Amino acid sequence: MLLPQIFRREALEITPWVLPLWLCTVYPFSAEQKALSLHLVNMTSLTDIQPKSSWISGDRPYLIAGPCSAETPEQIRATVQGLLPAKPDAIRAGIWKPRTRPNTFEGIGPEALLWIKEATEGTGIPVMVEVASAKHVELSLAAGIDMVWIGARTTVNPFMVQEIAEALRGSNIPVLVKNPVNPELDLWIGALERLHKVGITKLAAIHRGFSGYEKTIYRNHPNWELPIELRRQLPDLMMICDPSHISGNALLVADTAQIALDLDFDGLMIETHHDPARAWSDAAQQITPDQLCRLMKELVFRREHIEDPAFNAQLELLRTRIDGIDEALLKLLADRLDIIRDIGAVKMENDITILQPTRWAEIFETRLVEASERSLDQAFVSRLLHLLHEESINTQVKVFREQRDNTPKKQA
Ligand code: PEP
Ligand code: MN
DSSP per residue over 38-78, as a string?
HHHHT----TTSPPGGGT--SSS-EEEEE-SB---HHHHHH
**Which atom in ligand 1 lies closest to the alpha carbon of residue 149?**
2
Nearest CA among 260, 253, 242, 259 for reference residue 294: 253
Question: Which residue CA neighbors atom 2 of ligand 1 most closely?
Answer: 68
Nearest CA among 329, 391, 393 for reference residue 357: 393
Whole-number Å distance, alpha carbon 151 to ligand 1 midpoint, is: 5
One-letter amino acid of 8: R
Closest listed ligand to the CA of 97: 1
Q: Rounded to an integer, what distance in angstroms lies between the CA atom of residue 185 and that of residue 231? A: 11
Q: Rounded to an integer, what distance in angstroms lies between the CA atom of residue 274 and that of residue 82? A: 7
Q: What is the pLDDT of residues 27-44, one digit of tens each?
A: 334 444 444 444 444 445
Q: Can you give the pLDDT at residue 14?
A: 34
* Half-sphere exposure of residue 314: CA atoms within 13 angstroms, side-chain side: 6
Mutation choice for ligand 1 from 208, 241, 253, CB with most ligand atoms inside 8 A: 208
Q: Can you give the pLDDT at residue 174?
A: 97
Nearest CA among 241, 248, 261, 245 for reference residue 217: 248
Q: Can you give the pLDDT at residue 116?
A: 97
Question: What residue ranges line ligand 1, CB within 6 angstroms?
Answer: 68, 94, 98, 130, 151-153, 178, 208, 245
Question: Which residue CA neighbors atom 1 of ligand 1 most closely?
Answer: 68
Q: Can you give the pLDDT at residue 412?
A: 57
Closest listed ligand to the CA of 130: 1
Q: Rounded to an integer, what distance in angstroms lies between the CA atom of residue 345 and that of residue 402? A: 10
Closest listed ligand to the CA of 282: 2
Mutation choice for ligand 1 from 68, 91, 92, CB with most ligand atoms inside 8 A: 68
Whole-number Å distance, alpha carbon 9 to ligand 1 midpoint, is: 27
Q: Can you give the pLDDT at residue 32?
A: 46
Question: Which residue CA neighbors atom 3 of ligand 1 most closely?
Answer: 68
Whole-number Å distance, alpha carbon 118 to ligand 1 midpoint, is: 23
Q: Can you give the pLDDT at residue 258?
A: 97
Q: Rounded to an integer, what distance in angstroms lies between the CA atom of residue 67 and that of residue 76? A: 8
Q: Can you give the pLDDT at residue 47?
A: 79
Mutation choice for ligand 1 from 245, 256, 286, CB with most ligand atoms inside 8 A: 245
Regions of the chain short of the pLDDT cut 50: 1-43
Whole-number Å distance, alpha carbon 15 to ligand 1 midpoint, is: 37
**Which atom in ligand 1 lies closest to the alpha carbon of residue 208?**
9
Whole-number Å distance, alpha carbon 281 to ligand 2 midpoint, is: 7
Whole-number Å distance, alpha carbon 315 to ligand 1 midpoint, is: 39
**Which atom in ligand 1 lies closest to the alpha carbon of residue 282?**
3
| 3-class SS of residue 301 | coil
| 3-class SS of residue 84 | helix
Mutation choice for ligand 1 from 178, 241, 282, CB with most ligand atoms inside 8 A: 178
Q: Can you give the pLDDT at residue 311?
A: 95
Whole-number Å distance, alpha carbon 151 to ligand 2 midpoint, is: 10
CA distances from 316 to 20, 307, 322 (A): 41, 13, 10
Whole-number Å distance, alpha carbon 245 to ligand 2 midpoint, is: 7
